[in-house]
Structure 1
């Protein structure tokens, strides 16, 4: 029994650390998932949407830290009870998503691994079963270090995770699991494979009033896309920096376009107000959020290949050839 408890501790702890880590490098992705759950069509708790980012950060830190503490074997009972509460919440959400077909991807492993709601539900059932086993045999879980060493390790990890969260919010995710990662070619990502599955990139377009300009833009050698998925939610402080960067890019021979899901009239007013030297094209908001975790953000393309992505505060660090 002790061996089974030991294996369960390692498995559950590693699972929570991995799940927390893949979300830690991209907390904005978890924010979007919370917003989806809080929406009217799912849990109908739209009053919580403004707090989605805070919820995502708290959940990520709780998930990864509880996993580490369990692996260390420190404070076993309180850690296991906390994991049980967390897993029970996840169990309800995934059952709700699966049964009512509300959220097709729960985001439990971020964008790293995609599971169906039912797969995620049964994963949570397994985790709860193992946690209950460990609670029943909590006496078999011993700390692998002294109390002071365990506390020091815990504090060190927590501080490093806090800094990582701050860094990726100011800049961009340090690991990108999405189909718009640097080095990916958008045109290739839009092609259908022989297996008939939907391409990883299936909703990319850049429309003006007449047509989709995406094929033309993806064929160009030097392209800058300024991503503003929602003008209302954009950091207005960034538009001065974006204007200065766009002017430099145009002078270097880049074709610069804005991409947004906001209304045309609002975009025209913003263009005039901030003296932006480019026109906006329309694209789906979800696609834009997937492309760059910034608002406004910057994407550099070379014949459809993504060669760089930045949040607007890093615009002055971009090297234009």
Structure 2
């Protein structure tokens, strides 16, 4: 009786670990396939922290991002259904065993603010990430230890190969779709419907974060930290560095560092754009030298359309003047240029370039370079067109669509496969009779 009870407890524990790992890996992989550019930027942060960014091929972080998202999503689905148990459990254990000491280093050294394991959907501190990985490591060791006896398949041998193959194909196609278009789920603070100006404000009653800057000076081979209150009056001290730390954590506005200045004369037009009750098109390109020029004809047409109807049009970039001049020569761009922070521009839209439509500081629409609106969509004033009105996508509708796109074709292919097997059985049976 006691052995039966222990066996039941062990079975429950194994499956709790299994489904926990499956859920985490499916979610983590899906977030990465939903936003391949976002995780690629995080890989670049890792490489920069290790001093490897300069020697890494430019395309490598993007390939690595897509590969990691597909791998995690696939392993999570495999573990969920109990297919390819040995390979799935082994790879999951290797991944978690690698990430656990890595995130411990991140927590201690703090070279980057977060590991990026869940993208912008769930942001954890480095210590929270390490704690999460410790829990996952325990679960991974458990499922690896009892992978043959404790993990039962949820599907038959007849269809497990189909689920295994379709999972990889689905993750790959979804990742490519989000690269070509835009992330289906936008977890960043520049989503459609966001009021940028309100996102920059601190709500009434909330306290802002308090920072303290200390100044490091050196004298006679010894370094000492000073604050603004006890600044050294002795001129023999030599300045070394300044360090800013969080003294008291408070409310952090979701939108930070959003600032636009005209390239021509350096005029700050941020408030003017956010307060404008007319429409504004922002062509966003973090770096023009890396921008896709395939949609330039349509972009130029949007600019001409803006001039016809009296809308503002700006190309916002972090590029130097020489890159802007090259871009103008290559594309025939006649629109004005403005400057903004590169990281902010990468956060605003995952396309280089991408197009943003604003009114009263609210993001009404976003387009990647592959779906810039054409003359058939811009045949009248924006106030009279669907793209000129705010239509916030419904999250539940998106979730239902993804579930449908995954399970719908999978069920159809599974049914076809079972019918094929049944037809084959009947055919062989007839041959035996005759």
TM bracket (short chain)? over 0.9
Q: Which residue of 226, 232, 256 maps to 1:202?
A: 256
Structure 2: runs of 5 or more not aligned: 1-9, 209-250, 383-434
Task: Extract unaligned runs of 5+ from structure 1.
Answer: none
Pairing of 1:17-96 with structure 2 (within 5 A): 17-39=26-48, 42-46=49-53, 47-50=55-58, 51-96=60-105
Task: Point out the more displaced range, 291-300 or 91-100.
Answer: 91-100
Match of 1:218 among 274, 283, 301: 274
CA deviation string 1:76-95 (max 9, x = no partner): 22211100111123223322
* Cα distance in 2, alignment partners of residues 44 and 152 from structure 1: 42
The Cα of 1:56 is off from its aligned counterpart by: 0.5
Asked if the contact 2:295/2:372 (under 8 Å) is kept, the reply is no
Asked if the contact 1:98/1:104 (under 8 Å) is kept, the reply is: no
After TM superposition, the score normalised by the length of structure 2 is 0.71
CA distance in 1, matches of 2:15, 2:50: 38
Verify the 8 A CA contact 1:294 1:311 in the aligned structure 2. yes
3-state DSSP of counterpart to 2:282: strand
Shift of 1:148: 2.6
Paired with 2:84 and 2:170, the residues of 1 have a C-alpha distance of 21
Q: 2:175 aligns with which of 153, 165, 168?
A: 165
Which structure has the bigger radius of gyration? 2
CA distance in 2, matches of 1:149, 1:83: 23
Q: Between 129-138 and 12-21, report the one with greater CA deviation.
A: 129-138
Moved more, 70-79 or 50-59: 70-79
Q: Is the 8 A contact 1:38 1:49 kept in 2?
A: no
**Is this contact kept in 2: 1:182–1:309, CA < 8 A?**
yes
Equivalent residue, structure 1, for 2:123: 114
Judge which range, 294-303 or 45-54, deviates more: 45-54
2-side partners of 1:165 and 1:127: how far apart?
25
- Name the CA distance, whole Å, in 1 between partners of 2:207 and 2:170: 43
TM-score w.r.t. length of structure 1 = 0.95
Distance in 2, Cα, partners of 1:48 & 1:98: 25
Q: Return the offset for 1:143.
A: 1.1
> How many residues of Structure 1 are paired with residues of Structure 2 in the alignment?
319
Q: Which has the higher contact order (CA 8 A, sep 6+)?
A: 1
2:351 maps to 294
Aligned CA RMSD, in angstroms, stands at 1.5
Paired residues of 2:292 and 2:369 also in contact (CA < 8 A): no
Task: Report how far residue 195 of structure 1 moved.
Answer: 3.5
